[in-house]
């Protein structure tokens, strides 16, 4: 007898995280996949997309009400705002509308997976306790990830579905048009520096150059996400998910420069969000000269996020051993991850 496919509803299907999760679900097999975003996307075998505004409860109810077969909701949607406090209302509203709609329509809902990050430890605010553990107390509110988790915990009480929460560090993955994409920012910054005949200078704070940091490969995160969503021992818990190695930019940056065949230069806090504002004509000229895929400059501009990451003049890592103790054993070599992602960007002709 053929086993019934699980049905994955992926909110944030065009994000750095959501796109890579869908790719993983497609490769894993056994899933029917529905992606949600405002822009929608092209359907292919086993995957379809619905364009929906998760901030609009009526749009959510109208478009998602008919989805009676969803078994797993993977939530990786995100609304960016100018301040940490402003993130709470829209991000909590999107999750709330979606979970309420699914509870009403999806009779066989088994799991809700929530994508979080190290903001639950106050990592975005300044020095925090490292390694951060899942049991560490949260910072003073407002913090949207914590509100989302509390909503899920309260909502799940007495229900047959379970939840899990994933806490990655900065995520490395290929995607375009996303506000938080470190790999694109480094690759485009390097390509432009080279075009201008400059060395690859670390554009962050001098004190950030020698601190310990870790990142999370988007593929590894996707594997951890489906593991946590389907492993009974992982139910109703949160997990730090990281590559499993630590690095310092003072070691990684010269390796990145070598990949791009460039001289390396030490730190200078450039403020990419300022110095890259006049670079659109340069980008367009590079697209032309190198025969690149025609990508609008705004779709490769994650400059405020890169400034943010390169400003961390404190150690930035969490203890990833809880997931490993419960059976998720994947690890990724971070240098190999960066170089593979840059290679993939070249293969797709996004950068020269």
The least CB distance from residue 176 to ligand NAP, in Å, is 10
Residues facing 166 on adjacent strands: 115, 239
The least CB distance from residue 226 to ligand NAP, in Å, is 16
Closer of 81 and 348 to ligand NAP (Cβ): 81
* Angle made by CA atoms 111, 114, 119, in degrees to the nearest 5: 160
Give, as ranges, the residues between 75 and 94 that touch ligand NAP (CB under 6 A).
76-79, 94
Give, as ranges, the residues between 34 and 63 that touch ligand NAP (CB under 6 A).
36-39, 52-55
**Residue 255, SS3?**
helix
Q: Choose one: 12-20, 133-141, 152-160, 258-266; the region binding ligand NAP (CB under 6 A).
A: 12-20
Spatial neighbors of 61 by CB under 8 A, at least 6 apart, are 97, 101, 104
- Sheet strands (E) in 122-254: 162-168, 170-172, 200-201, 215-217, 237-241
The least CB distance from residue 297 to ligand NAP, in Å, is 17
Helix (H) or strand (E) holding 347: helix 334-347
Alpha carbon 329 to its chain's center: 20
Residue 18 binds ligand NAP, judged by CB under 6 A: yes
Q: Which residue's Cβ has the minimum distance to ligand NAP?
A: 15
Q: Choose one: 165-173, 225-233, 239-247, 317-325; the region binding ligand NAP (CB under 6 A).
A: 165-173
Residue 12 binds ligand NAP, judged by CB under 6 A: yes
Residue 23 binds ligand NAP, judged by CB under 6 A: no
CA torsion sign, 17 to 19 to 21 to 23?
negative
Q: Choose one: 9-17, 185-193, 205-213, 286-294; the region binding ligand NAP (CB under 6 A).
A: 9-17
Residue 204 binds ligand NAP, judged by CB under 6 A: no
Alpha carbon 307 to its chain's center: 17
Residue 117 binds ligand NAP, judged by CB under 6 A: yes
Residue 174 binds ligand NAP, judged by CB under 6 A: no
Q: How far apart are CA 155 and CA 152, in angstroms?
A: 5
Residue 123 binds ligand NAP, judged by CB under 6 A: no
Task: Pick the closest to residue 207 from 315, 317, 338, 318 (CA basis).
Answer: 315
Q: Of these, 47, 71, 149, 178, which contacts ligand NAP (CB under 6 A)?
A: 178
Asked whether the beta carbons of 190 and 254 are under 8 A apart, the reply is no
- Sheet strands (E) in the chain: 6-11, 31-37, 47-51, 72-75, 111-115, 162-168, 170-172, 200-201, 215-217, 237-241, 264-265
Burial 264-273 (b: 16+ CB within 10 A, else e): bbebeebbbe
The least CB distance from residue 173 to ligand NAP, in Å, is 8
Write the binding mask 330 to 349 for ligand NAP: x where contact by CB under 6 A, - elsewhere: --------------------
Q: Of these, 24, 120, 161, 168, which contacts ligand NAP (CB under 6 A)?
A: 168
Binding site for ligand NAP (CB under 6 A): 12-18, 36-39, 52-55, 76-79, 94, 115, 117, 168, 170-171, 178-180
């Amino acid at each position: 007898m053929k086993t019934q496919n699980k049905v994955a509803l992926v909110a944030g299907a065009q994000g750095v995280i959501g796109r890579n999760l869908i790719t993983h679900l497609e490769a894993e097999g056994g899933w029917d996949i529905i992606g949600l975003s405002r822009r929608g996307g092209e359907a292919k075998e086993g995957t379809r997309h619905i364009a929906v505004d998760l901030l609009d409860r009526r749009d959510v109810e109208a478009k998602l009400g008919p989805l009676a077969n969803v078994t797993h909701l993977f939530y990786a949607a995100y609304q960016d705002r100018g301040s940490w406090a402003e993130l709470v209302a829209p991000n909590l509203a999107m999750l709330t509308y979606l979970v309420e709609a699914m509870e009403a329509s999806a009779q066989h809902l088994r799991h809700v997976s929530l994508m979080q990050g190290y903001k639950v430890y106050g990592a975005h605010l300044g020095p925090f306790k490292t390694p951060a553990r899942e049991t560490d107390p949260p910072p003073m509110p407002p913090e949207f990830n914590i509100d989302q988790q509390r909503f899920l915990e309260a909502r799940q009480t007495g229900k047959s579905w379970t939840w899990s929460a994933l806490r990655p560090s900065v995520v490395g993955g290929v995607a375009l048009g996303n506000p938080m994409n470190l790999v694109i920012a480094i690759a485009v910054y390097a390509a432009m520096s080279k075009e201008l005949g400059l060395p690859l200078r670390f554009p962050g704070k001098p004190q950030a150059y020698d601190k310990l940091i870790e990142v999370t490969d988007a593929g590894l995160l996707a594997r951890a996400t489906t593991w946590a969503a389907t492993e009974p021992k992982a139910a109703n818990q949160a997990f730090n998910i990281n590559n499993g190695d630590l690095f310092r930019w003072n070691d990684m940056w010269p390796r990145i420069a070598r990949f791009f065949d460039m001289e390396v230069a030490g730190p200078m806090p450039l403020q990419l969000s300022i110095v890259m504002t006049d670079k659109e004509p340069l980008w367009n000229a590079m697209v032309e000269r190198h025969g690149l895929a025609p990508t609008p400059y705004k779709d490769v501009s994650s400059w405020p996020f890169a400034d943010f990451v390169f400003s961390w003049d404190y150690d930035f890592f969490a203890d990833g051993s809880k997931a490993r103790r419960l059976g998720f054993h994947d690890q990724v070599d971070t240098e190999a991850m960066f170089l593979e992602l840059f290679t993939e960007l070249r293969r797709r002709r996004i950068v020269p």
